[in-house]
Amino acid sequence: MAHYAYVVHSNPVPGREDEYNDWYSNRHLADVVAVPGFVSAQRFCLTDVASENRPLQKYMAIYTMDTDAPEKTLEHLTSLVETGAMFMSEAFSMEGMATHLYEAITPVVNAPAKGIRHDQG
């Protein structure tokens, strides 16, 4: 089964950032990972806001997917949103939102455990 990252860049509606963050973190991530094919989700907030080449969106969510049909998985997600079966907060701004799908080309590389020396017996 192939491994993918679905990346969503977004902003809140002006003046509704707290509502947006509460909904996104406490409801939406769980709603998305309940969709078959999605296996995890995590949100990020832009910190280098003074960077010359920064994205227009302050927030990013990365969803990981394990599926052999990523387009069908995303079609299912879109259908849930468009039919209202998945609640979308009005604090989520559709203006300027960007999504990208990436296919993994390497396995995950993890750092070795810190503080453990393997050369001691």
| 32 located within any domain | yes
Cβ-contact 5, 60 below 8 angstroms: no
> Domain range spanning residue 22?
13-52+69-97
pTM, to two decimals: 0.90
Predicted confidence at residue 115, as pLDDT, reads: 76
Task: Tell me the pairing of strands 3-12 and 59-66.
Answer: antiparallel
Average pLDDT, stretch 24-45? 98
| 63 located within any domain | no
Q: Count how many domains the chain has.
A: 1
Is the model more confident about 50 or about 30?
30
Predicted confidence at residue 49, as pLDDT, reads: 81
Give the pLDDT band of residue 120 (cuts 50, 70, 90).
Answer: low
Predicted confidence at residue 103, as pLDDT, reads: 98
CA distance 68 to 96: 29
**Residue 35 one-letter amino acid:** V
Predicted confidence at residue 119, as pLDDT, reads: 64
CA distance 88 to 106: 33
Strand ranges for 56-91 from DSSP E: 59-66
